Amino acid sequence: MAKILIVDHSALMRRWMCDILNADNDFHELDTSPDGEDAYNKILSKKYDLVIMDLAIPGMDGVELLARLKAEKVRVKVIGMSRTIIEDEMLAISAMQNGAYTCIAMPTKISKSDVFFEKNLREKVRLALGSHSKGTPSDKVAESVRKTQEILMGITRKENSGSNSRTVSSQQVPKQSAPKQSTPTYSRGNKGKLIALACSTGGPQALHNLIPMIPGRMNVPLVLVQHMPEGFTAALAERLDRSSQVSVKEAEDGEVLKPGYVYIAPGGRHLELSENRSGEVIVNILNTPPVNSLRPCADVMYDSIQKLHYDEIICVVLTGMGADGSRGIRDLKQFKKTYVISESQETCVVYGMPKAVEQSGLSDEVEPINKIADAIMRRLEE
């Protein structure tokens, strides 16, 4: 019988989560706590198999509690919950650094009809209680965390003291294999095509595998949403640009899409596409409220594509928690010819977003990350 501590300032939320877990077939011994200080004392005095904790609890909040437990080398598996944007790489980094097993989005209000939250909570609890071997979701996220830190913070590139040469680890961005084509021209078959990509946890690592493999002859624009907070996507775009034959940049409000360019939605902002009076497709960067606790949100991007002039949209869904993108792609298919490529489970850090697309019957092709560039180019050249 697993011993679980539920930490939330709301008595109703604590009761609801107890009801959700008690309804499971597995037997759990449940305990509750209203704040961080009380939870800390209970964790020290009792041996819990799992703690489920709202990160915004009053007093000592969830992040502070995680940091304190880590500093004192108290070993307990924790699932963090947040009503803010949690499905992004940098917040996963923060949570993992402080010892959290994973994070999930919690609803803004209690609803007995919220089947998604109930199912997600039970699934994460089962994974946390049953995953002890190497290769568990937390192991994969931890490895992704390490690689993302190297990618964004540049810790793999160091100057040799007293020398102009550089030492480079195996994680360093590869050298550009061919010069960029500054103004690729559309082929007859590609004139009406656009690539729209979505990813979340594990995304930076996946993008550093995928984007450098796209040849310079990609003569259509590629727009992408990577769940990230403000301040990190510019560095991600810069590093991808240095390693790729295509041009990569953080998208800017009002700019016109060009063929051969990859546009990354700025962290903490939605990206939408529209057409100007000349019929050119332009980027709109919005600070509107989060959608499904996400900003940027892939569904928002896909929704905006519905009324554009493109004849075909190539949707690509890579590793990530949750189901962002699946609803938007489903609706897009009603308006546009849409071809969907999803990353296979074998190479995903978290098989959430691609799984949602595939299990909904939306995927036209499922490929490991190292074969997705070829799949994109085959579709462009048809």
Tokens found for residue 176: 């550009």
Task: Respond yes or no: is residue 324 known to be catalytic.
Answer: yes
Q: Among 8, 88, 144, 227, which one carries the catalytic annotation?
A: 227
> 245 vs 151, 185, 198, 216, 236, CA distance in Å?
18, 15, 20, 5, 16
Q: Is residue 19 flagged as an active site residue?
A: no
Which residue in the list 304, 324, 326, 342 is annotated as catalytic? Answer: 324
Gap between the Cα atoms of 306 and 380, Å rounded? 19
**Separation in Å, CA 362 to CA 143, 306, 316, 356:** 29, 16, 11, 9
From the candidates 33, 94, 144, 200, give the one annotated as an active-site residue. Answer: 200
* Type of residue found at 199: C
Question: What tokens does 242 get?
Answer: 């240095």
Phi, psi of 93 (to 5 degrees): -60, -50
Q: HEC profile for the chain?
A: CEEEEEECCCHHHHHHHHHHHHCCCCCEEEEEECCHHHHHHHHHHCCCCEEEEECCCCCCCHHHHHHHHHHCCCCCCEEEEECCCCCCHHHHHHHHHCCCCEEEECCCCCCCCCHHHHHHHHHHHHHHHHCCCCCCHHHHHHHHHHHHHHHHHCCCEEECCCCCCEEECCCCCCCCCCCCCCCCCCCHHHCCEEEEEEECCCHHHHHHHHHHHCCCCCCCCEEEEECCCCCCHHHHHHHHHHHCCCEEEECCCCCECCCCEEEECCCCCEEEEEECCCCCEEEEEECCCCECCECCCHHHHHHHHCCCCCCEEEEEECCECCCCCHHHHHHHCCCCEEEEEEECHHHCCCECHHHHHHHCCCCCEEECHHHHHHHHHHHHCC
| Single-letter residue type at 305 | I
Active site residues: 200, 227, 324
